[in-house]
Structure 1
Amino acid sequence: MLLAVDAGNTNVVFAVHDGSEWRGRWRIATRPDRTSDEYAVWLLALLQFSGLKPTDVDRCAIGTVVPAALYNLRRLCREWFACEPLVARAAVDWGFEIRVDRPQEVGADRLLNSLAAHHHYGGPLVVIDFGTATTFDVVDTDGAYLGGVIAPGVNLSLEALHQAAARLPRIGIGRPQAVVGRDTVAAMQSGIYWGYVGMIEGIIGRIRGEQEAALKVIATGGLAPLFAEGTAVIDRIDPDITLEGLRLLAERNSAPNLTRTG
């Protein structure tokens, strides 16, 4: 079985795939100083609860945008699963060209999303990922990664608004009943929600204008369903697209040799 680890800025997602389906998905808050033993205590209990054992895992793959978290995630794979993890980075075999000026600077999550989206939906397409940042990644007909757009994430914008304006409260995100808010909270919710919908539609429109192609739009991330309600430009929601990218990358690349850590 494959243990896939998707380490983002906010959460680390662990998932196990048995070759035909995902057997479990679990998430924990990202904390770069969390040790491999801390991960293990938490993860092994969840595996046991799902009827799985550490010995069931024979491959590990890690995708992370938090370099400081990689060391302990590697140790977790080596010490508790006896596997050297495949780490998603520009140098591995992706099966497509990375047509940008500095491929090594592209976040692993963006390449993983592009790999899985093209595999499942073909191209050309755009993947919108509603994470800590909201990213738009463009994939060509042949699967090549062409670049994209990075914007502040929704929750990041909400927190910045609260921190920078003394009288504005901290609020949750939701689709407002009306565009014109009748109180402060409703006005803030409208600005964030419809502001992001406008950004999504505007950026997709400009990407389509530059690419001159009928691009499919795939959305992922926890807030994807909420924003898909407010716009017709999103064609499909796929919550597992990053994990699927890790699975496909592991299929394309042989397992690294195990390195023992002291």
Structure 2
Amino acid sequence: MNLIVDIGNTRTKYAVFDDGAWVECGLGLPEVYDLAKTYRENGKEVDLILSSTGAISAEVRERLREVSTFFCEVSSEIPLPIRLGYDTPKTLGVDRIAGCVGGAFLFPGRELLVIDSGTAITYDFVSADGEFRGGNISPGLGIRFRALNEFTASLPLVKCSMEHGYIGKNTHDAILNGVMNGILFEVRGYIDELLRNNPHAVVIITGGGSEYLKKTLKRTVCFEDKLVITGLNRILEYQKTVNYT
């Protein structure tokens, strides 16, 4: 049984895979400990992978080791099922690594553009032979709305909405349309450039902000809400192969 633990800036997510199939998911570190202990008490091996976008205390890391049969932590320095063609791999976020590994696993032998729309929007490119070629980082929805409010004297803070138009007739709508369409046009630009040079490439979009792109882009891209979790599970399987052989 594989237990995926993803500690973010505001919450901890976990997922369980058994024989490659997704079983369940949830939130919270106490729940992770209880779940792992239950599986161990029932005679199951618990192979655990830890991913974090921030610092993790030694206590948390040690407790996760204690409840697992096999333990590993994601970083750019561990063996990976893809190659990292990046000048500064130590600065590469583990979520970006996992998303690209997930994409390469789902679409082997295809050139990929992996777009993760979260707090930031990341655009990452993977070659057909499995090399992470690099990518770009752009402000996400929330950052753009807050920036217009915080760095100007009179513009209000506007919330994102599925219901937006093209030309604003008031300040609220001008901001809403500007941010929502700005992201949409940006994403389209990356997709169009990739497909212009490689019409057989695959575009995968994930992340919480991807909901705002589905209505317009769903016919030309693949939306995978479990992409990062799938990638982490693939990295865990790879680690077990490396360490057990």
Could you state the TM-score of these two structures normalised by the residue count of structure 2? 0.85
Paired position in structure 2 for 1:127:
114
Paired position in structure 2 for 1:180:
167
Paired position in structure 2 for 1:36:
none
Residue 184 of structure 2 aligns with an amino acid whose one-letter code is V
Residue 216 of structure 1 aligns with an amino acid whose one-letter code is V
Q: Distance in 1 between matches of 2:75 and 2:219?
A: 30
Q: 1:120 to 1:255 in 2, by over 3 A?
A: closer
Paired position in structure 2 for 1:105:
91
**1:63 aligns to 2:51 (yes or no):** yes
Paired position in structure 1 for 2:222:
236
**1:251 aligns to 2:224 (yes or no):** no
Paired position in structure 1 for 2:198:
213
Q: Which moved more, 1:158-167 or 1:135-144?
A: 158-167
Residue 87 of structure 2 aligns with an amino acid whose one-letter code is D
Map of 1:1-262 to 2, 5 A cutoff? 1-27=1-27, 39-40=29-30, 42-43=31-32, 47=35, 53-55=38-40, 56=44, 58-66=46-54, 68-69=55-56, 71-79=58-66, 81-83=67-69, 85-122=71-108, 123-208=110-195, 212-214=197-199, 215-231=201-217, 234-254=220-240
Cα deviation digits, residues 136-163 of structure 1 (max 9, x gap): 1101011111000111121122222222
Q: 1:217 to 1:124 in 2, by over 3 A?
A: same
The 3-state SS of whatever aligns with 1:146 is strand
Q: Distance in 2 between matches of 1:69 and 1:163?
A: 31
Alpha-carbon contact 2:3-2:16 (below 8 Å) kept: yes
Paired position in structure 2 for 1:31:
none
Structure 1 residue 208, shift from structure 2 partner: 5.0
Structure 1 residue 164, shift from structure 2 partner: 2.1
Q: 1:85 to 1:115 in 2, by over 3 A?
A: same
- Runs of at least 5 residues in structure 2 that lack an aligned partner in the other structure: none
Q: Distance in 1 between matches of 2:149 and 2:45?
A: 44
Paired position in structure 2 for 1:33:
none
Structure 1 residue 9, shift from structure 2 partner: 3.5
Q: 1:72 to 1:256 in 2, by over 3 A?
A: farther
Q: Distance in 1 between matches of 2:142 and 2:218?
A: 22
Alpha-carbon contact 1:8-1:64 (below 8 Å) kept: yes
Structure 1 residue 207, shift from structure 2 partner: 4.5
Residue 99 of structure 2 aligns with an amino acid whose one-letter code is N
Q: Distance in 2 between matches of 1:87 and 1:59?
A: 11
Structure 1 residue 57, shift from structure 2 partner: 5.6
Alpha-carbon contact 1:6-1:242 (below 8 Å) kept: no
Alpha-carbon contact 2:33-2:64 (below 8 Å) kept: no
Number of aligned residue pairs:
238
Could you state the TM-score of these two structures normalised by the residue count of structure 1? 0.80
Alpha-carbon contact 1:129-1:136 (below 8 Å) kept: yes
Paired position in structure 2 for 1:32:
none
